Structure 1
Amino acid sequence: MGRDEMRAADSDRQAVADKLKKALDEGRLDLGEYDERLQKTYAAKTYGDLKGLLEDLPMQQQAVAAPQGPPPLPASVSSRTGQLVRMTMGGFGGIFVVCTVIWLLTGLGYFWPVWLLIPLVMSILGQFGEDRGHRDRRERRRRD
């Protein structure tokens, strides 16, 4: 049995997920591609399933051996916010729109789709808090 057919452990999947998150933070992956690869990572059963998820991303050893230039600029908050809004509106926002159409077709009583806005707004606000935490950590590292 080759390595590609061997079963992957949770720690192997987590290591790939961590590398994907780093690639997202560096701007190498957009939010949609990160989400797609992350789903494949957690669904992987073998090392072969995990193999192709990082192949087009630079490895940490290569990044260390590369000549030192200016540090890469972090992705701007506005582009990340735009990605977040597109992702949220594509999924959960679509459900809200469908429910609103159903509400319109059934008689305009109590506006029950408003309850769907609560998790939508919370996810957007949570992402802003996460972005701020990443920025704070990056600035602390720069100062050190």
Structure 2
Amino acid sequence: MSEPDIRIGDTEREEALRSLGEHMSAGRLELDEYGDRSALVTTAKTRRDLLALFADLPEPHPRFGQVARPAAAEVVPKQAPGSPLSHRLLRAAVPLGGLIAVALFLLIRNPLVFLMVPAIAILAGSVLGDDGRRDRHRDRDRRRRS
């Protein structure tokens, strides 16, 4: 693949827009022409597309870095670690707390025992934080792939 046919990314587009802004500030481009070329920059796919917008303009032009060639590397599959035991126990505490609350309600007939369930959920959530959410998403994704 030749250099002009290499696809560009957002960084190159942003640099091209800055260069066009400098040309407009210097009076080389009118506002309408700047708008037209800016629109073309946002839809440009390759280096050739960008460079064509600067063919009739002096420097500055967009500069492109060297194309990085991916090195042949050995691919080692990454094994996802399981949830730590403490996370699994805390996640199990919420439904267990619900069962205990029902049993206590039947024994003492006080509906306030049901407040124990959200208290356990809040405690477990504060201990787990985002780790618990990541564990649940990872476990769900594993089940879907299986």
TM-score range, shorter chain: 0.3 to 0.5
**More contact order relative to length (CA 8 Å, sep ≥ 6):** 1
In the superposition, the TM-score normalised over structure 2's length comes to 0.40
Which structure has more helix as a fraction of its residues? Answer: 1
In the superposition, the TM-score normalised over structure 1's length comes to 0.40
